[in-house]
Amino acid sequence: MIITNAKYTQWQGTNSSVKATIDGQEMFIPLDESNRHYAEILKQVADGTITIAEAD
Amino acid sequence: MPTEISGSTGVNKITDGTVVTADIAADAVDGTKIADNAINSEHITAGGVDDAHLATGITASKLTGALPAISGAALTGITEPPRKNFIINGGFTVNQRAAYTSATAVGAGAKTYVSDRWAVYIESIACTYNWYDATIDSVKRRAGKVISTGTGSSKYFHVTQQIEYESWMEGRTITISGWVRTNLAGQKFRICDGVGCYTPGSVIASDGNWAYYSTQHTLPNDVSSYAAFQVHPAFATGNFTTSTYLEWAEFKVEFGSTATAYEHRSYGEELALCQRYYEVITGGIGMGIVKSSTAADCSFQPKVNKRAAPTISFSGTFYANDGSAQQSATLSSTGGTQDGLIVVIAFSSLNTGRACMLYTPSVDHKLTVDAEF
C-alpha cells in the first residue's frame, strides 16, 4: 500500500480515525488493528516510512 | 350362548359392523393368520400400525409411490449437511467494487480486491482481472481470470480468498476443490493456515484445458492466534509472458475428505455474506444533527455488521439537507464501531441544532465501508 497524508481525525474531542490517502484514494481508517489499513499504517510507522500528523 | 365356529360349522357371512375392534382380543390375530396380500393398504387407517408392530421393518420393494416426508433426524450416514462451502462468492456473482466484465488493470504486486472476497495480483508484474461465463465440462460456469500484462521469471500468481477462523474449525480436515486452467507449469492448490503454507494435491496441467481438482488439508489444532486461513487456486513460481493466465471456477472449501458438488447461493444470500467484509451505500446514507453552521455528525448502520471496524471512503458528490437548504458535503472524520458508524461532515452553512440528512444523488456517488482482511 502506498500511504500518504496520514493524519489523525477526532470525534467528540478524541482521536477516532486516521485520514490518509491509500493507493490514491482518500480513506478514513479506524484505530483498530484488525483493520488491514490501520495494521499497514502501524507497520509503515514502525518502519519509519510514514508518520501520522496530529489532528487539527 | 357362545357358539364355536369351526371349519365344519363355518360362517356363511359376517356383515359390516358385526365384529368391532373391541371384539378382537389382543394378539387374537397374529401375523401367521394373515395370508400374504390379504389386507389391502386401503384398509389400514392412518396411524393404524405403530412402529412397535413393524418388527422386521419394511423392505425396499414395499416402498412404492410417493414417499412421505422424512425428517432430518431420520437421515443417517450423511456426515455434513449441504450449504457448507466456506468460499464466499465462488460464482463471482457479487461485484460491488466494479463490474469486472472486461479486463481491469491490477498493479504489479499490489494485493487488489476485485469480485467480492477475491484478492489478486502477480508478484512484481501488472495484470488484469475479469470474470466471464465459461462452458466447462458442457456446463456454463462463471470463471475468474487473471492474465499478466508484463513479463518476469520466478514470479507467482497470488489469487486468494481468506476464510475467517472459528474455534470449531480446529483440527478439522477440509477438502478444497474447483475447476482450474492455466498455461503456467507447476501450479498447485495452496493453503496458508497460519501455522504454514502448503501445496497439497496434484500439479495442475498447464495445457490450457479446464480440469477439476481436489485435495485435503487438516487445519491447526489451535487457531486462536489466527484471524483466517487463505486458499489459492494455484500457486508456484514460474516464468511469465504477457499472456500467462490463470482461470478458476466454482471453488469450494468444505469439511470432510470428499469433494462434493458446487452449490450456488441466491444473489441476495451471497451479497449479504460479502457485506460482512465490504459494502457500498448510495442514496440515503444516514441522519444527523447540525452541531455548528459548518459541520454535522451523522450516523448510520451498515446493512451487515462488519468483521472489524471498517475503513470508510467517499466517492463522488454528497449532500446534506437540514430541511431549509441543501449543501454539498465532504467527510472530515469518522467514528463508531463495526456495528454502527458515525461520519462527521463539513459544508458551507446549515442551521445549527437542526436534524440533517446525508445522501448521494445517484448510485454513481457512493460511500464504501471496507472491513476486508
Q: Which three-class secondary structure string do you get for chain B?
A: CCCCCCCCCCCCCCCCCCCCHHHCCCCCCCHHHCCCCCCCHHHCCCCCCCHHHCCCCCCHHHCCCCCCCCCHHHCCCCCCCCCCCCCCCCCCCCCCCCCCCCCEEECCCCCEECCCCCEEEECCECEEEEEEEEEECCEEEEEEEEEECCCEEEECEEEEEEEECCHHHCCCEEEEEEEEEECCCCCEEEEECCCCEECCCCCCCCCCCCEEEEEEEECCCCCCCCCEEEEEEEECCEEECCCCEEEEEEEEEEECCCCCCCCCCCHHHHHHHHHCCEEEECCEEEEEEEEECCEEEEEECCCCCCCCCCEEEEECCCEEECCCCEEECEEEEEEECCCCEEEEEECCCCCCCCEEEEECCCCCCEEEEECCC
Task: Answer yes or no: is the ipTM higher than 0.90.
Answer: yes
Domain definitions of chain B by residue range: 3-54, 104-269, 276-370
Shortest distance between the Cα of A50 and any Cα of chain B, in A, equals 19
* B110 vs A contacts (CB less than 8 Å): 1, 23
- Residue of chain A whose alpha carbon sits nearest to that of B372: A36
For the stretch A4-16, pLDDT in tens is: 999 999 999 999 9
| pLDDT grade for B39, boundaries at 50, 70 and 90 | confident
The reply to whether residue B110 touches residue A23, judged by beta carbons under 8 angstroms, is yes
For the stretch B47-104, pLDDT in tens is: 777 777 776 666 766 666 666 556 556 656 655 566 789 999 999 999 999 999 999 9
- Residue of chain B whose alpha carbon sits nearest to that of A38: B311
CATH class of B104-269: mainly beta
Query: Which CATH fold topology does B276-370 show?
Result: Immunoglobulin-like (2.60.40)
- Residues of A near B (CB-CB distance < 8 A)? 1, 9-12, 16-17, 19, 23, 25-32, 34-38
Q: What percent of chain B has pLDDT over 70?
A: 90
